[in-house]
Amino acid sequence: MPRYTPPEQSKAGQIFDIAVVVVAIFVALWLPLKMGLAGAAKSIDALDAKTWEALGQNPTMAAIWEKLGYTPETAHDVIQNRFHYVIDWPTLIIMAAVLIGYFVFLFRASDREYRDVINEKFDDK
C-alpha cells in the first residue's frame, strides 16, 4: 500500500479550522444556555400554610433551618421547589436514537480510518 502523504495546510487554513472548532464549542455549550434549554426541570409546589409543620420539617430540622438564617416563609421556596419526574417518551426515544446513532457512526467511521492506519503501519515492514 503506498504511503499516504497528507497535504500541507496553509496558515489561513489552520486559522479557519481553529475558528470552526471554537465556534462549534461555543454553539454547543452556549446555545442551550441562551435558549433556556439548560438547567433542571424544577417547579415550586406552593403551600398556603407556611409553617415548619406544613413544610414537613420536624423540630430538629426547623432549628437547623433557623440556624442557617431561614424562616418558614423564606424556606418555603427552597423546600417546595421539586423535580417532577415525568418520562417524556418521545424525547427519551430521540435521545436514545441520537446517542446510539452517534456511537454507531463513531465506531464504524473510526474502524475505516483504523484500517488505513494499520495497513500503512504494518505494510511498511
Window 66 to 125, contacts with another protein (CB under 8 A): 67-68, 70, 75, 78-79, 81-83, 85, 87-88, 91-92, 94-95, 98-99, 101-103, 105-107, 109-122, 124
**From CA 76, how far away is CA 65, in angstroms rounded?**
11
**From CA 125, how far away is CA 115, in angstroms rounded?**
16
- Site pattern 7..26 for another protein (x: CB under 8 A): x-x----xx-xx-xxx-xxx
SS3 content of the chain, % helix, strand, coil (to 5): 60, 5, 35
> Applying CB under 8 A, what is the total number of residues that bind another protein?
74
List 46, 48, 60, 73, residue binding another protein (CB under 8 A):
60
Q: Which is nearer to another protein, 7 or 48 (CB)?
A: 7
> 86: phi > 0 → left, psi -120 to 50 → alpha, else beta; which?
beta
**From CA 39, how far away is CA 83, in angstroms rounded?**
12
Q: Does 44 bind another protein (CB under 8 A)?
A: no
Q: Which is nearer to another protein, 49 or 122 (CB)?
A: 122
List 29, 45, 47, 72, residue binding another protein (CB under 8 A):
29
Q: Which is nearer to another protein, 49 or 86 (CB)?
A: 86
Span between the terminal Cα atoms of the chain, in Å? 11
